[in-house]
Amino acid sequence: MPYTVTVRDHMMIAHSFTGEVFGPAQRLHGATFVVDATFGADELDADGVVVDIGRASAALAEITGSLTYRNLDEEPEFAGRNTTTEVLCRVVADRLADRVAAGELGGGSPSSLTVTLHESHIAWANYSRSL
Q: Which residues bind a second copy (CB under 8 A)?
A: 1-10, 12-15, 17, 19, 21-25, 27-34, 44, 46-50, 52-55, 57, 68-71, 81-87, 89-90, 106-107, 119-129
Identity of the residue, 86 or 98, whose beta carbon is nearer to a second copy in the bound complex: 86
CA dihedral over 32, 75, 115, 45, signed as positive or negative:
negative
DSSP conformational letter for 61: H
Collect all residues with Cβ–Cβ distance below 8 Å to 1 and sequence separation of at least 6. Answer: 40, 41, 42, 111, 112
Smallest gap from Cβ 40 to a second copy, in A, equals 8
Identity of the residue, 69 or 102, whose beta carbon is nearer to a second copy in the bound complex: 69
Smallest gap from Cβ 43 to a second copy, in A, equals 10
126 half-sphere exposure, CB direction, 13 A CA radius: 5
Smallest gap from Cβ 38 to a second copy, in A, equals 8
DSSP conformational letter for 84: -
